[in-house]
Chains A and B, each alone.
Chain A
């Protein structure tokens, strides 16, 4: 494994860093993020508060750490929804290529793509009330067609291969072939796509909580930190800059990892690189 792409190494390192920070926030944060302390408000970076405090006296580093947990949890579960529902749909469509079922699944996919995702997300959170769970559902729904399409596309090319024919001759049914022979070979494709959707999920969560439709106070989230910083941006720009840079680094890490994984896992590209 000498020839790992640089983007993969950097991306994985960045992503791992944020995951570790989020995990750490479960057992330890420098300060409690739910208690307000007006006496400590708007401090600049110091030995006590490494990144300073916000207008309510909360420690920014602690807020960012817990915010990482919120973002990652929301995006991860949303990706999970997309995989758990989307992949079986895509496999079913591929196994019954050209049938009415295939047509219905794929047209259904197109239809979801046609909906303005942010508008529907806002609508869903308006219907069921703003919360992290509803943000997950809103983001997750739009992951379903993505994974269905990727799974179907990958599966279609696998279905033409000889070993699938051998499995059919052996008397295996479509569902069993899909589960035993197609799915394991789609791993690479799905991992790359999951990384990309994960990073899009982080951005979507930030956008939703920025407009007040994500995780609710007192749970810190990067998007709401930005929204709260907006009125303070003229006097205390760092309050807005820090969460923004954090989001960028997390998304950048995931995107680099996705790109690197695709390069490392795609034999066509690997040959081209050597």
Chain B
């Protein structure tokens, strides 16, 4: 009596290379989402401001940061405090008692979340199918 396994070696190889391939691919998924949220947020504020631009520095100072802790990948998007016009950010995002808000952050996040979920699922499937690098198209920030 014996057991014969055919075709598993290839897949075992796929699984064994996951620890090297997966972090890069998932980090790129999160980075892609971060860049898209930043660009969307900038576009929303650009659309809300005067055509000649009341808040050019604020829009330019919208940035994002990526970090990783174990298997948690994080993108932080927002204005960098201490730069030009960044004190205006909360007035524009949340409004004041005399001016209505022009939210950019939350709508951008909600618009991007399903797309990031799609990419995470696609990357997970690609990683399990073949023992090769999986590339996520990250737009320039």
Does B bind A? no
